[in-house]
Amino acid sequence: MHMKTFLAVVLVAGSLCAADKPVPGINSRTIIVGEHERHYILYLPKSYDGDKPLPVVIMIHGGGGTSKGALFETGWDRKAEAEGFIVAAPDGLGKDPSKPGNFRTNPPTWNDGSGRFAKNQSGIDDIGFIAAMIDEIIAACRADAKRVYATGFSNGASMTFRTGLALSSRVAAIAPVAGALWITNAVPDRPLPLCYITGTADTLNPLAGGIPKTFTGGVALGEGVPKPPVQANIDTWISLIGCAKEPVSTTISNGVTKRTYAGGLNGTAIESYFIEGCGHTWPGGKSILPVSTVGPTTDKLNATDVIWEFFKRSTR
């Protein structure tokens, strides 16, 4: 099944007149996709002037999260300011899309292909939303269409995988953090570089796969479907882009192992990072949820820094 069949016709709300033009700093943007109004945060660095095409990093929040929370946890807005690129952080929809998202009563999630969450989630066109968001950013900001990247955490990481499969003609590289590749019967239009990061103490994205649990062994909110083993996600991507099956492994710091799979089609490669003792958190970032739920944070690796260096080496 080809992922293009999932794309729906979208209508961008409002015209891109002078009043709609984004400005440096935080911009709140709304577009209409199918029957739903969708929201995203757009961050432009102070150096933005609309003349020089800048790269775009899409940061997709985890299940129950928000665009604002994702930037707080990961620091992608601060990285964009320091390095001079654009960040877009979209918001998922809750089980009742007509109501505001709430972590416990109406948690925003993504249609990542797993069918884990709301029964109506399979009818939500999140790929159409991300595609429309990319189009709007390129038009409104004169962004560099050849340097659009996607990253995400947890459910957002799974959505990042799906975005890479469906939108490889628009995205130059992807970097899922602590998430699963649920769709295994689709082929991207072009081979896409992958950077994958996870913690060895992550019980919500367990290395060996299985039912996600909280760090203290409780039932995870909304998680009732067994996850595939982490290596299975990587192996699937190896087959998609034709990398070497055996990696070159290196220890880059105390407790951090990097595995590189080279030789993919069109010079693509996979980099994976395993962080000893890190729970279900964004490495080097801030965690909003308690340790009892997600496990410990880590400063052994800064995922935002590592991912940006990876993205800088990729162009479409």
pTM > 0.95: no
140-171, pLDDT tens digit by residue?
Answer: 999 999 999 999 999 999 999 999 999 999 99
> What is the overall mean pLDDT for the chain?
91
**pLDDT, average across residues 181-201:** 95
**pLDDT, average across residues 18-26:** 78
Edge to edge, the sheet with strand 25-33 lists 10-11, 25-33, 36-44, 86-90, 56-60, 148-153, 173-177, 194-199, 270-275, 256-261, 248-253
**pLDDT, average across residues 217-245:** 91
The Cα–Cα gap between 133 and 267 comes to 28
Distances in whole angstroms, Cα of residue 232 to Cα of each of 180, 181, 209, 223, 237: 9, 8, 9, 19, 9
The Cα–Cα gap between 44 and 201 comes to 35
pLDDT of 17 above 50? no
pLDDT of residue 18: 40
Lookup result for tokens 């968001």 = 133
- Domains by residue range for the chain, with CATH: 3-312 (3.40.50.1820)
pLDDT of residue 297: 96
The Cα–Cα gap between 159 and 61 comes to 9
The Cα–Cα gap between 193 and 203 comes to 26
92-147, pLDDT tens digit by residue?
Answer: 999 888 888 888 888 999 999 998 876 666 678 999 999 999 999 999 999 999 99
29-88, pLDDT tens digit by residue?
Answer: 999 998 899 999 999 999 999 889 999 999 999 999 999 999 999 999 999 999 999 999
